[in-house]
Structure 1
């Protein structure tokens, strides 16, 4: 088999993967078929969807901090958001109507290359079933809101985390080789890594945690809003105060972390068994009742993809030297970071494994 050496931009491939994964979970189909992925048609489909779903979400709206700017139409953000909202509504309506037409269940994919095409239950199909018994609660607007949250929260954050983990590993060869040795030792070269291997791959989990610590996909966690006057840590907080939690600053606080600016996955070895304080200094998914409900799924997805990429491919950045922090654009969901171009080469003894994908 001829080995093809490819130079690719990771962001677009990882976003396509993450978006297709969420679409399969939620709707039972891909947004782009296997035949279209990597082609100009596939790229156009993904970019159009990405534009109206995420374009206005990756920017901090200064009007939220200085409401007076709303009078002047600051940067036209609100106008952009209104336009994006209309496009999103059209897209979500089309998805919902397709499911309603198919009675809440559609084939896993329209692609003839799928391993099977039986009908399976989906998240949206379940919601539509509930709508039949409780139409007053499970309205179309509620279901569309659930769809939107699933698409936004489950795609950009996942693809960004994988990209940053690979960036960090390429910039730090020793952790890269340590992770590869762990995967080769525990999984081998006769099968692909799967979810049942995670228990035996603690260093993989450490690498992911360290990537989340240094470059959280949401540097400022979603805003909280006080319903009444309260006192927090000795500070009086009036009701209706908007609270922004700076995960970036907490994750790099030298009072909480030893050498916080350094990439040291080993710092997480055994750390999760510490006292409750660990939950307060490492908060990439938030905490408490408002923590990300998809955290477990996100970690499993990142672990499976990152582990498989390290298992099957040799990686090299197209840039010999680059400043990591200059690549990072700390927006509310950091999807505007500098794209990472890499050279991806299948490992000689893993080529047969790739046929299982």
Structure 2
């Protein structure tokens, strides 16, 4: 009798094991490269640039691939239909971010709008960013202060003065675009400019420039410990030490700016100056001080600084490079601006809607050929879900290869060619998830409107005011460098001179 009881128990245990095993195997994972090595997984397959390596994996294994970044499971998506399913049907499930080292030290321990987990805190930050800081009304308020137009006019004047009586001058445009976007963002955020002329505090500007340089150098560095956790137990890495030092330095700088604005709010100075994003956040702090802490404000300032500068500057550099290699497109854009704007004034933001070919150039550059984020910022599944019939376990990181989708010959005719004309029906193609440069769904980038304004106005102004040529007969090198925002391998060197029809206007600026 006792032996029979033990037999039944053993059979029951075997039954439960078999049931669990069969259920697990019925959940079909996406296809995967055959050899996943212990500890490193599929990391041995990766070469730079990563988006091209991942695109080759998708070509071989399909639009949804299961890969191991060390011990971290990842699904790689490179088709519009799969991306649409992730960001519509499973948008909530994929609304989290993975816990990576950058989010710990540069994202205030995963509490900024970029790094926070999906929930009430993130929703509130998103509401602030979307409604209080980056809505159309807010951007119009900051534009009403003349910030974007003023900084672009300053760049135009700088180039004009360097032309020595209308002669072609050589100019390195990467730094010009970068300084332009940094000045625009920091004037919107804190009312200060740190590059060029008319710098109020040179020492403060020097400190800011140093922090920015160090920040972008570290942002593009991969922390292997994010994917091979055992390395985190060896000790604090060199990268983490640098991130900690940068965080302290940056934190103090941003806090000083907050304190300056808080002091100005205590007197009548606020009534006599333009309102900034810091002022908006301090006003919210006045109504709910326990939530809108200085750390929350510093985090939002940091997001604006990092997300809104390098990306827009890189887009302008790629766009001008493409136009120099395709002078017929440059001439067509100039003709459109001449016909719509004329020679008596500079282009305004309100004119951009009347310049569809200029918009098509930006779409073809930023929104297809050279997206600022070739891989969307990583998401993480908070629940098990099924994508295109494949099982995606909870905790899996989602990577969407935007570059692969936007350069897929099955979706785009001659995808390697620069053809702005293909975006004459831009809205229809966007609805089909064929291009996702700003992401989509709950965690889509709220700064799309600002980026389009800065890039459109700056590029339009340079096309309107100057003739542009390559430095030599050779085509501009379009090689891609390393980094998260797909920079050019070689900074753009170009030649420009004032257009004869614009000399009178430029002389009056």
151-160 or 344-353: bigger deviation: 344-353
Aligned residue for 1:19? 182
The aligned counterpart of 2:365 is 211
- Which residue of structure 1 aligns with residue 386 of structure 2? 231
User: Scaled by the length of structure 2, what TM-score is found?
Assistant: 0.62
Q: CA deviation at 1:99?
A: 1.2
Q: Give the corresponding residue for 1:272.
A: 427
Please report how far the alpha carbon of residue 74 of structure 1 lies from its aligned counterpart in structure 2 after TM superposition: 10
Report the alpha carbon displacement of residue 234 of structure 1 after superposing the two structures with TM: 1.6
| 8 Å contact kept, 2:316–2:455 | yes
Cα deviation code 1:288-326 (max 9, x no counterpart): 111110101111110100000000011123254256442
- Whether the aligned pair in 2 keeps the contact of 1:230 and 1:236 (CA below 8 Å) is yes
**Correspondence for 1:290:** 443
Whole-angstrom distance in 2 between the partners of 1:309 and 1:42: 30
Match in the other structure for 1:180: 334
Pairwise CA distance, 1:49: 3.5
- Asked if structure 1 preserves the Cα contact closer than 8 Å seen for 2:324 and 2:476, the reply is no
Distance (Å, rounded) in 1 between the aligned partners of 2:317 and 2:236? 32
Q: Which residue of 2 aligns with 1:112?
A: none
Counterparts in 2 of 1:191 and 1:292: CA distance versus 1, 3 Å: same
Q: State which of 161, 166, 182 in structure 2 corresponds to 1:3.
A: 166
Aligned mates of 1:254, 1:96 — CA distance in 2: 49
Counterparts in 2 of 1:1-357, with a 5 A limit?
2-3=165-166, 5-32=168-195, 34-35=197-198, 47-70=209-232, 76-103=238-265, 118-212=272-366, 213-274=368-429, 276-277=431-432, 280-322=433-475, 324-326=477-479, 328-335=480-487, 337-355=489-507
1:128 deviation in Å?
0.6
Contact 2:467–2:499 under 8 Å retained in 1 = yes
Cα distance in 1 for partners of 2:196, 2:313 equals 18
CA contact (8 A) 1:158 1:302 kept: yes
Deviations along 1:101-138, whole A, 9 cap, x unmatched? 21289989xxxxxxxx9401111101111112201110
Q: Secondary structure at the match of 1:244?
A: strand
Q: Deviations over 1:207-244 (max 9, x none)?
A: 00111111111111111111111111222111122212
Larger mean CA deviation between 56-65 and 250-259 belongs to: 56-65
SS at match of 2:195: coil
Q: Distance in 1 between matches of 2:282 and 2:388?
A: 45
Secondary structure in structure 1 of the residue aligned to 2:350: helix
Change in 2 beyond 3 A, CA 1:188/1:51: same
Greater Cα offset, 50-59 or 288-297:
50-59
Asked whether the 8 Å contact 2:325–2:476 carries over to 1, the reply is no
* Contact 1:104/1:124 (8 A) holds in 2: no
Instruction: Report the RMSD for the aligned CA atoms in angstroms.
Output: 2.8
Contact 1:105/1:121, CA 8 A, preserved across alignment: no
Cα 1:156–1:177 change in 2 (3 A) is same
Q: Is the 8 A contact 1:194 1:304 kept in 2?
A: yes
Deviation at 1:63, TM superposition (A): 3.6
More deviation in 60-69 or 243-252?
60-69
Distance 1:260 1:163 in 2: 20
Please state how far the C-alpha of 1:356 moved relative to its aligned partner.
Answer: 6.0
Secondary structure of the residue aligned to 2:345 is coil
- Paired residue secondary structure (1:56): helix
Aligned length: 344
For the residue of structure 2 that corresponds to 1:342, the secondary structure is: strand
Pair member with larger Rg: 2
For residue 67 of structure 1, report the CA deviation from its aligned partner. Answer: 3.6
Unpaired segments of 5 or more residues in structure 2? 1-163
Q: Deviations along 1:38-59, whole A, 9 cap, x unmatched?
A: xx99995664142133221123
Task: Normalising by structure 1, report the TM-score.
Answer: 0.87
Deviation of 1:273 (Å): 3.5
